[in-house]
Amino acid sequence: MNAEPQTQLRLLDLAAVDAEMLRLRHRRRTLPEDKELDRLAEELRARKDDAVGKEIVLDDLDRDIKRHEKELSQVRMREEKDTELQRGGTLPAKQLTELQHELDSLARRKSIIEDETLEVMEQREAAEADLQHAGAQVSHVESQIAEVKRHRDEALADIETAERRCATDRDAIAGSFPAELLALYESRVRAGGLGAGVLNGGKCGACRIELDRGELARINAAPADRVLQCPECDAILVRK
Ligand SMILES: [Zn+2]
């Protein structure tokens, strides 16, 4: 295939736009915000698990408090009943003594339950503070996620703008090539490589591989309008 050296040179403009497109695509795939969002999602899961654990502790303590309150009310009822019997004055001395023993033991039991309840109440206070702290940490991570998402969306919008600009540039440049030359170029792009590279210092500008002397001699001997391809990457090799 032949093409004017000037036309071949312009392929480098097209290749520059395509290289920019590739850079943008790579940037889109490797946004640091996406990595950060993955990390934050994991952190959020852990924080939520932690908050659920703290909630369970609090629920258990609430259950303990209720159990203590119920027991305390049972002891008080028994106490009232016994006190009434005692005041009735109709019981024989032996039973009155037994009743007094029971009242003494109820009083001891009551005092133990009250102490225990106080202790659990204190634990509950601490557990509630823990839960509040855990909840605040969940909110903090959630707001971090919202912030990073905002940055990510801004970066994506920038990339989209740049991609649209590249597409416009590309359309303008690509329209000016002979169909056959453009088809050869595009076939290399479709294969995932660069369509064209400049020959510079014995190296292909597309794959950056140094060509051997035999190849260089063959290239130098070729007419200027001959379209050559890199023996390594098949990109159109443009001579300056
Ligand atoms: Zn090459």
The class that CATH gives domain 31-161 is mainly alpha
- 28 C-alpha to ligand 1 centroid (Å): 26
* DSSP state string for 134-181: HHHHHHHHHHHHHHHHHHHHHHHHHHHHHHHHHHHHHHHHHTTS-HHH
Give tens-digit pLDDT for 110-159. Answer: 999 999 999 999 999 999 999 999 999 999 999 999 999 999 999 999 99
What region, left, alpha or beta, does residue 226 occupy, with left being phi > 0 and alpha being psi -120 to 50 degrees? beta
- For the chain, which residues make up each domain, given as ranges? 1-30+178-240, 31-161
pTM over 0.75: no
- 188 C-alpha to ligand 1 centroid (Å): 11
Give tens-digit pLDDT for 18-38. Answer: 999 999 999 999 999 999 999
Is the CB of residue 224 less than 8 Å from the CB of residue 5?
yes
For the chain, the average pLDDT equals 95
- 193 C-alpha to ligand 1 centroid (Å): 9
Give tens-digit pLDDT for 193-233. Answer: 899 999 999 999 999 999 999 999 999 999 999 999 999 99
